[in-house]
Structure 1
Amino acid sequence: MRYDRFIPLSCVAVLTIAGAAGAADPWSENAVSRHIDQRDYTGTLDAARLGELIDAGEALFVAKYTTVDGAGRPLATQAIIPTKRKRPVEQAFQRMQGMDANACSSCHNDPVVGGAGDFSVNVFVSEGFGNADFDSVDPQFSNERNTNHLMGAGLVELLAREMSADLQSQRNQAIRKAKSGGVEQTVRLVSKGVDFGVLTIHPDGIVDLTGLDGIDTDLVIRPFSQKGVMTSLRQFTINALNDHHGMQADERFGARWTGEADFDGDSHDREITTGDVSALVAWQASRPPPVTRKPENAEWQRLAGEGRARFDDFGCADCHRPTLPLDSLVFSDPGPLDAAGTLRLGEGGEGAVYDLALLDWAKTLPRDDEGRVLVPLFGDLKRHKIADRQVAVLGNELLAQRFVERDIFMTSELWGIASTAPYGHRGDLTTLNEVILAHGGEARESRDRYANADEDDRRALIAFLKTMEIPE
């Protein structure tokens, strides 16, 4: 075992678990002392090695990065594609252009590390090419977003992978039929009960994409971010490290890809190694999912039971699906759909494979008659139009993100919603009642049913939603 791990000096327990020898002096101003070597965690990981990787990832997640570690990006922007500035920024920490946080846990901390955040830790999402000298938090320059929780994130990514493979298989089968039979084929794309529209394939190979609904044209489900534009935890992690902390991952910003060992011009190279990213991914992928709690209060129990029925009656379950079936708990990192700018198999990198079934919480997940895990996310991993002219609150952004229209967002998973106030993409709605009434567009009919229901039925729905918690 190599001892070149990336371990915060403050995390004595992690140092002990990882067996790190020769740690840096306790008075050092490095937040981290060693980097993870990817070669130590390739192939199929057993429970012990997975535990080591998860512990190291947690240490990274709570580390408060310093300039000695490489925090800061004076000559680089927050853009996903490595992009240079013409001159260094005068102020490293800025709410809009970043940096804007010291640690991942600075924002993901409510009610536990890996949880959500309130309005005070909102971030500003742009394409990363703005001028930090004069741009402001005005919505014409960027979209303000509230912090999502990461609990159950590994299950979400596994669902997205299976659904993407399913939809692409349906497309490919229709293409083969159109080509071999010389007859136009129309296929309705449905995976795990979620309808993503239709494709029409002509015998000459032309594919009509106009009937797609709630998904990109490559039929890859991107389950992360409010707009559904991040493919994987790995992509999300590398983006966030650069954007929020000015910590550049070798697999995107290193010399092999940019021609510069110190792309951001802060006099530090190897700020985040491939192994470091893998550790962060393992920690996030292993987060236990939220739970639905049975209240001790008898009246609350009664109301929550009625509220579960109202959830279906109002049509909430049409998009916020209570469960989606998952065939396998085996998580590979990198995954089959990781985007450019992340480690990808076949590009000189080796990855890890680990079974989330090794984790204690996985044993409590419900299963269907076929043995599939029923992931209780209350979502559908599909984008929907969520605003209209009369109810436009959730269409409050002015800039499109990755070509997704301004009023279209991924269905928010409701698991954990009782622990993640405030609500809405901007975190500017303080109650569940407010965010329900803010639903327009495709959710307008359900919203109106709720709005026109009697007070007892509305109270019952809120009582049910208040049982979906992130355990502390």
Structure 2
Amino acid sequence: MAQHIGDGPIVREHMDQQLIESGDLDFWKVFDHGEFLFAAKFNTYDGQGRPGTTGGGDARVPGSAPAFIRTSAPESNSCAGCHNDPLPGASGDIVANVFVLAQTLDPVTDSVSPQFSNERNTLGMHGAGLIELLAREMTAELQALRDAAVSEAAEAGNSVSKMLQTKGVSFGRLTAAADGTVDYSEVEGIDHDLLLKPFHQKGVVVSLREFTNNAMNHHHGMQSVERFGAARTGTDDFDQDGVSDELSVGDITATTVWQAALATPGQVIPNDPVVARAIIRGERTFSRVGCDSCHKPELVLDSPIFTEPNPYNPDGNLQVSEVTSVFSFDVTQLGDSPRPEKTNSGKVVVRAFTDLKRHNLCDEDYNHYCNEELVQGGVPTEQFLTRKLWDVGNTAPYGHRGDLTTMTESIHYHGGDARESRDRFFALSEMQRAEVIEFLKSLQILPEGSAYLVVDENGQAKNKTRLTRSDNPVRRSTVGESP
């Protein structure tokens, strides 16, 4: 291969989507290219920057905005520049915060005032493939309930109501009238299209692919062909930076697949018996005070097969109808380790500690989480998607802005829908609260290549079931110990 001398693009070769669809590229080639693109520090030869457009795709006078601007973006060289703690693909410190919706402004703003943007902390992407698959299955179930209500109402000639429950999560109920209209006024925590959107803290992004297309343009000024190419816009240099076709359809597929195949977060239970016992007791107390009503310890995934593209992708993202064959892989067999395990029935238990539902965490006493002023995606400013806790132990700081330094602070400001469990937590003894925090600290992104989902501090497998049984109050009391 010829050597390249001097400045030039970081991305020398783009991935061909047709080779992916034909099966000529195996999983690991696609995965490795996605990892490369996630870490690549794009430059002007790659097409970094968008001098002629805003982050929302509107035209602007070329050169009227700087190549980089922290508040209005582009503000980053690479995806891994923000998603890096403790590993590439994970979360970011408050210094990596983004200013959501400022990217659409023309002229740009250099203010961090909430009247111009919503400041958000960078969340981790580990386990994201499982989350997207859960959202797809939950969407299918919810929309099937709606369709059944419409069909039954038409047949019966009167209104029919359906409770919207999927995987143990309730999204309220809807009522279908005989004429086919649907009343969504009692639907909770999801849009009326019943399409579950599991990404962004507001729950407004359907898929990792949509997330990737958005972020490449927003943060780096790198436009994908599938959204900004000539077939859609009439020009192959939509942002007028002198570089055409900056990211191929195959590039976006590869970046999506890499994120979907990141390792599954797990749990670290040290060998110190005092700490181990605190973790086991803390998990039990976490459920007892009601934290698990929203931070559900597990959701069951029916199928572990991740397919790309997502069948629910919105316009501007690759559609299933546009490919000759979807790219698919089993998340329990391929990707970074540790991977999730199949049950005997072939299902996967996803221990993400979320219900993938939007909630209001504010009331008249606690409104720390209600600082935002701009509505994103039609979602009320006070609502946020339940944070996944499976990586909370090593992805500080906390809160949607990352402005809370301890877990106890984060719990303190839980009002609204979480007020009852919040009050129960602070009614506990100091030791019991400390045990809950110790449990949360144990939920972590594990070191690369970890072979097990539950390990000790040395990465060796830990038998959590045995620990739980040994600390069971009933079991202990039968041998003469106090519960």
- Report the TM-score, using the length of structure 1 for normalisation: 0.91
| 2:32 aligns with one of 35, 55, 72 | 55
Which residue in 2 is equivalent to 1:92?
Answer: 67
Asked if the contact 1:74–1:265 (Cα under 8 Å) also holds between the matched residues in 2, the reply is yes
Which residue in 1 is equivalent to 2:21?
Answer: 42
Shift of 1:88: 2.6
Which residue in 1 is equivalent to 2:48?
Answer: 71
Shift of 1:31: 1.1
Q: Deviations over 1:130-166 (max 9, x none)?
A: 1344452111000011000000010000000000001
Q: What are the within-5 Å matches in structure 2 for residues 189-228 of structure 1? A: 189-228=164-203
Q: Residues 23 and 387 from structure 1, CA distance in 2 versus in 1: closer, same or farther, beyond 3 angstroms?
A: farther
The answer on 1:32 being equivalent to 2:11 is: yes
Asked if the contact 2:174–2:186 (Cα under 8 Å) also holds between the matched residues in 1, the reply is yes
Q: 1-side partners of 2:360 and 2:66: how far apart?
A: 38
Asked if the contact 2:261–2:335 (Cα under 8 Å) also holds between the matched residues in 1, the reply is no
Q: Which range is displaced more, 367-376 or 33-42?
A: 367-376
Shift of 1:245: 0.5
Give 3-state SS (helix, strand or coil) of 1:295's partner.
Answer: coil
Q: 1-side partners of 2:227 and 2:325: how far apart?
A: 16
Q: Residues 233 and 37 from structure 1, CA distance in 2 versus in 1: closer, same or farther, beyond 3 angstroms?
A: same
Q: 1-side partners of 2:322 and 2:421: how far apart?
A: 47
Q: Which range is displaced more, 348-357 or 427-436?
A: 348-357
Which residue in 2 is equivalent to 1:244?
Answer: 219
Which residue in 1 is equivalent to 2:78?
Answer: 103
Asked if the contact 1:327–1:372 (Cα under 8 Å) also holds between the matched residues in 2, the reply is yes
Q: Residues 155 and 259 from structure 1, CA distance in 2 versus in 1: closer, same or farther, beyond 3 angstroms?
A: same
Q: Alignment length, in residue pairs?
A: 447
Q: 2-side partners of 1:467 and 1:166: how far apart?
A: 33
Q: Which range is displaced more, 416-425 or 27-36?
A: 27-36
Which residue in 2 is equivalent to 1:423?
Answer: 398
Q: Residues 333 and 366 from structure 1, CA distance in 2 versus in 1: closer, same or farther, beyond 3 angstroms?
A: closer
Q: Which range is displaced more, 34-43 or 216-225?
A: 34-43
Q: 2-side partners of 1:102 and 1:430: how far apart?
A: 27
Amino acid at match of 2:36: A
Which residue in 2 is equivalent to 1:336?
Answer: 311
Q: What are the within-5 Å matches in structure 2 for residues 270-281 of structure 1? A: 270-281=245-256
Q: 1-side partners of 2:39 and 2:109: how far apart?
A: 32
Shift of 1:29: 3.0
Shift of 1:89: 2.8
Give 3-state SS (helix, strand or coil) of 1:76's partner.
Answer: coil
Q: 1-side partners of 2:111 and 2:326: how far apart?
A: 40
Q: 2-side partners of 1:214 and 1:378: how far apart?
A: 16
Shift of 1:104: 0.6
Q: 1-side partners of 2:18 and 2:332: how far apart?
A: 23
Which residue in 2 is equivalent to 1:300?
Answer: 275
Q: Residues 168 and 132 from structure 1, CA distance in 2 versus in 1: closer, same or farther, beyond 3 angstroms?
A: same
Q: 2-side partners of 1:231 and 1:142: how far apart?
A: 21
Percent identical residues? 43
Which residue in 2 is equivalent to 1:13?
Answer: none
Q: Deviations over 1:149-194 (max 9, x none)?
A: 0000100000000000011111111111111121210000100000
Q: 2-side partners of 1:253 and 1:41: how far apart?
A: 21
5+ unaligned residues in a row in structure 1: which ranges?
A: 1-21
Q: Which range is displaced more, 362-371 or 146-155?
A: 362-371
Amino acid at match of 1:177: E
Asked if the contact 1:290–1:415 (Cα under 8 Å) also holds between the matched residues in 2, the reply is yes
Give 3-state SS (helix, strand or coil) of 1:226's partner.
Answer: coil
Shift of 1:466: 0.6
Q: Deviations over 1:412-457 (max 9, x none)?
A: 0000101100001000000111101111110011111112221011
Give 3-state SS (helix, strand or coil) of 2:104's partner.
Answer: coil
The answer on 1:352 being equivalent to 2:331 is: no
Which residue in 1 is equivalent to 2:379?
Answer: 404
Give 3-state SS (helix, strand or coil) of 2:256's partner.
Answer: helix
Give 3-state SS (helix, strand or coil) of 1:387's partner.
Answer: coil
Which residue in 2 is equivalent to 1:231?
Answer: 206
Amino acid at match of 1:56: H
Q: Which range is displaced more, 347-356 or 225-234?
A: 347-356
Q: Deviations over 1:192-219 (max 9, x none)?
A: 0000110100111110010100011111
Q: Residues 265 and 455 from structure 1, CA distance in 2 versus in 1: closer, same or farther, beyond 3 angstroms?
A: same
Q: Which range is displaced more, 291-300 or 232-241?
A: 291-300
Amino acid at match of 1:431: T
Give 3-state SS (helix, strand or coil) of 1:78's partner.
Answer: coil
Q: 1-side partners of 2:291 and 2:130: how far apart?
A: 22
Q: 2-side partners of 1:104 and 1:84: how far apart?
A: 25
Asked if the contact 1:24–1:33 (Cα under 8 Å) also holds between the matched residues in 2, the reply is no
Q: Deviations over 1:93-115 (max 9, x none)?
A: 11111011101100000000111
Q: 2-side partners of 1:69 and 1:361: how far apart?
A: 28
Q: Which range is displaced more, 370-379 or 314-323?
A: 370-379
5+ unaligned residues in a row in structure 2: which ranges?
A: 448-483
Which residue in 1 is equivalent to 2:412?
Answer: 437
Asked if the contact 2:91–2:123 (Cα under 8 Å) also holds between the matched residues in 1, the reply is yes
Shift of 1:261: 1.2
Give 3-state SS (helix, strand or coil) of 2:135's partner.
Answer: helix
Q: 2-side partners of 1:345 and 1:92: how far apart?
A: 35
Which residue in 2 is equivalent to 1:257?
Answer: 232
Shift of 1:355: 2.2
Q: 2-side partners of 1:111 and 1:348: how far apart?
A: 36
Across the aligned residues of Structure 1 and Structure 2, the Cα RMSD in angstroms comes to 1.7
Q: 2-side partners of 1:279 and 1:469: how far apart?
A: 26
Q: Deviations over 1:1-22 (max 9, x none)?
A: xxxxxxxxxxxxxxxxxxxxx3
The answer on 1:167 being equivalent to 2:146 is: no
Asked if the contact 1:42–1:353 (Cα under 8 Å) also holds between the matched residues in 2, the reply is no
Which residue in 2 is equivalent to 1:447?
Answer: 422
Asked if the contact 2:10–2:41 (Cα under 8 Å) also holds between the matched residues in 1, the reply is yes
Q: 1-side partners of 2:2 and 2:425: how far apart?
A: 58
